[in-house]
Structure 1
Amino acid sequence: MSQTVVVSPTTRHEGHSKLVLQVDDNGIVTQGNYLSTTPVRGFEKFITGRPMEFAPVASSRFCGICPITHASASAESIERALGIIPPKDGVVLRQLCNIGSRLHSHPLHQLLVLPDYVKNPDEALAATVRIQKMRKIAQMIIDYTGGEAIHAPNIRIGGMQKNLSEVAKRKIIEALKEYEPLMKEQVAFMINAFQKSDAPKTLGVHDRELMATDLNYGNSDVFESEYFYRFSEITPKSYYPVEEVGMDACGTVPLVGGKTVEGGPKARLTKFKGFGKKECGDFDPKGAMAINIARALEIPYAYDRAVELITQLNTNGATLTKPPESGGDGVKLGVAANEAPRGVNVHCAKVKDGKIAYYNCLVATTWNIPTVGNACEGQHYKWAEYVVRAYDPCVSCSTHMIVIDEEGKVVTEANI
């Protein structure tokens, strides 16, 4: 006999969401549905019609965890719509700001999953102390490069508002030196904890395509050439097999080639670093534990890139190409893909006479949400939240608009 198990809300991640699982008599999930239930906020709607400079400022408010990727993707989408090329040092500084965000976000995820994998309270406390020190350093890097640690005002259309001073550059270099030993100890500790877990070895395995454009910052040209031409977007009512589930869902379902996809650490390392069985040990490299392991391994890659970027930065170089005050024909679509900590963050914009004529966001968690439900299938439902947390969902980002019918009644909440 099939039964329905509902986990609402799911825990230890950003935003509000739930699982609706069909299970058999043994508690094995036969159909998994994961959905956002975060209330509608309407960002894309109120960005439209406003001056283009408002878009990076507003879209960074999608979230307090990953505002840097939203501001960057927003600015780049408008740059691509207008044909603006930021100066070299502006690009370096923007990328460094984004790497700082990853060096902060990935350890934060480890804090959220500690109770799942670290049972010794002394070890958990020591890991928490390391994580908080790492986060503090990473936030300092964002603060220096972006002008503020959360909603960075230096990220502008055309690059970055101002460059670093030589003193600030040296401070970041010293901070990275302080970060390195903490990182090495924490990464080794967490990978050991993940590999010793009693979770099923095939937990979270699915057959969906992995989507990634770059190891670190993101590559919009790759997104357009490999994924965007195959992209479509449907409402949750059209996707979820149970109508009530689709009515509750608060984000659209983006598809590539008619199927859901997975973005994030596992996708990036698999595509660009040959990640697989060697790193995962006994766990299936296509599963949820592989995501946790890949996320830990991404921290050293991000660290190395941060060192490279701060070394490259010319503190006397220009960082901003000033955009035209009234540019844009309202036809050219600018598509920007930024590799957020959780996956590919895509902003799409059209500009007319200096104002936003069209705006749409396909954020990292929006891509991953439907795949999470599928990844819960085949194992006992008690493991379903482990799968959710492996994706580190940032759910608030994935909710933006309300779809209504001809009579003005809400049909479903979505971000189309």
Structure 2
Amino acid sequence: MENKIATPHSGSPPVVVVGGGFGGLSCARALAGSGVQVTLIDRKNHHLFQPLLYQVATAALSPADIAIPIRSILSDAANVEVLMGEVVAVDHHERCVILEDGQRIPYGILVLAVGSAYNYFGHPEWQDVATSLKTIGDARRIRARLLRSFEEAERCNDIARRSRLMTSVVIGGGPTGVEMAGTIIELARHTLRRDFRHIDPSHARVVLVEAGRRLLGALPEKCSSYALQTLRKKGVEVHLGTTVKEIDETGIRTETTEIAAATVIWAAGIRANPAAQWLGVEPDRSGRIAVAPDLSVPGRPDIYVVGDAAQFDAGGHPLPALAQVAQQQGRWLGRHLRTGRPPSAFVFRNRGDTAVIGRDAAVYAFRSWSFTGRLAWFLWSLVHIVLLIDFEKRVLVSFQWLWRYITSSRGARLID
């Protein structure tokens, strides 16, 4: 079948942005209202606020609270067209991207903001039993598995099986793993404590497994120690320096022990989506593409990479795969593309690294300062509210956080 060439706009050369996450959307919004013709392509029709996805997975928020249609965000930008489709290749000789159905979208400038996926380190078979947390579908599966396990335990008379049903394992001690473990234990011991008659949810077991020597390895030691102490105080079992060897439907096996669990959640590392393969360049071990100071691909001045897929050297170390990095890169690139080729190097301005451990407990590191406890929780809340794209979402999520803080309730406890 002959592939049609899709020309989204007339005029000089179009900018095609692949990915509607923080980096791609910020770039498109920075170009909105300019004389530059832009096409944004994403395989989903919505922008997802991934830093709060764990709250959907633990019934604190509904999916609609942290997602908004991309078309709605860009509806007032007459120069920006939104296409829902999955890019599978880039033909840099013909200067077009190729969609899954064979459609070819020409570009003058290409911005790749394709994000990342979780890395199972050579064990793709684990994906079926250890759900990662990247999409709304992932969050809904985790939420259903958690809640269904308690429902099954309620009518289970076998003590060993009931124990397995009430055990959850989180693999990975980074921010996502710490946040998931802390929120699951609060869900079980506070929110669900009065919901059942034959089981006591406060007896639920939550295990956090980390291969490294400490939690939150990218943050200062003070934050790591606080996170460890707080999780253990809440009742989470933390296993440091422990490598997972096997995962199946019954639970996990490490070098030293077996843990029977009905719910296993993977939060142990990410890998960039396959943009490097599209361009025929050698990625780093995390699949990222090394970019120049202006975020372009060396030798490809018409192609830029932002966000999780970009390896950007900042003073001798690569920038982490964080929402604030992607958002700043996308906005910076979009602003410079309004008038032409970026004239200078991108400079990242760190707003602080943070992770919430539970109600009233968080860590926040900014430059040489680090905060823990209630102040850090407030700063974490403020950062996440500011990062939310839509003003209505900011108000809604802020209200729900305040209500949940006062009542310890979770209103999204639905099983699909």
TM, length-normalised to structure 2: 0.24
Larger helix proportion of the pair: 1
Q: Which has the higher contact order (CA 8 A, sep 6+)?
A: 1
Q: Give the number of the structure whose alpha-carbon radius of gyration is greater.
A: 2
